[in-house]
Amino acid sequence: MRATSSRAQRIRLPRMSTDPPARPPLRIALLGHGRMGRLIERLAPEHAAVTVLCLDGSNNPGGTGLTPEALQGIDVAIDFSTADAVMSGGLERLCGLGVDTVIGTTGWDERRAELLKRARESGIGLVHGANFSVGVNAFYRIAAAAARTMAGCEGYDLATFESHHRGKRDAPSGTALRLIEKVRAAGWRGEIDVTSQRTGHVPGIHELQWDSADDTMAIRHTARSRTGFARGALAAAHWIHGRPGVYDFSECWQQVVSGGGKATGNSPGKGDSP
């Protein structure tokens, strides 16, 4: 009997992808649709996010627009509204509805401790800060290092100067107040002269100046646009989603921009508005 031979046929299977499946974009509710709100809305697609709800004073008086129906499917709320909006029920409603939140609004210091306590108790994730610019938060550290050095030098006076556009309501700015807090914590015990200016369209300038009869030393941060603030807020929104606790951006910004890291969620919420 004649043997028959058969040749094995190789079948090429498609290569399996090892890449993780793409995550759906972060669904954002914007509270406040002014300069910052509109900029965040425009930049969101570059940061794997989509704005699905915009609320302002016209459709959210006293936080009444923050309903379970309106916030269904929302991952994170980003608040760049007004201090009154934050204090008159906005943050409390977000806590009650369990929505993770980023707050860049400033000027709500009088209720800050109370509202941050409410946020902790609610179990939501909250990042709040005076300024969401990475450069400004690096500037805080530089300022603290300078203050530690200058605290041991006699004959110097310290002044801080900040300038913003004419539409900014609070003065001194939240960033300036936070800067002063950092300088004090670093050991500066002398007086600090504070000057605020509101003019034109300045995004933000903050300067510390030590002056003596012999010389002057100054350090300054100048924002060229609001884009850095918006990008920082969007990074914070991704970072806080699904992460319970209350965090001060000035204390967790390096973890935020790296996209990971552990945090305790025990930020005391000292005065720190933009």
Catalytic residues: 164, 168
Answer whether 265's CB lies under 8 Å from 75's CB. no
Separation between Cα atoms, residue 235 and residue 48, nearest integer Å = 10
The DSSP symbol for 157 reads: E
State the DSSP string of 189-217.
-S-EEEEEEE-TT---EEEEEEE-SS-EE
- Other Cβ atoms less than 10 A from the Cβ of 166: the count is 10
Q: Rounded to an integer, what distance in angstroms lies between the CA atom of residue 29 and that of residue 52?
A: 6
CA dist 248 and 269 (Å) reads 6
Of 86, 132, 123, 108, the closest CA to residue 252 belongs to 132
Q: With residue 139 as reference, give the H or E element that holds it.
A: helix 134-150
Cβ–Cβ < 8 Å for 162, 207: yes
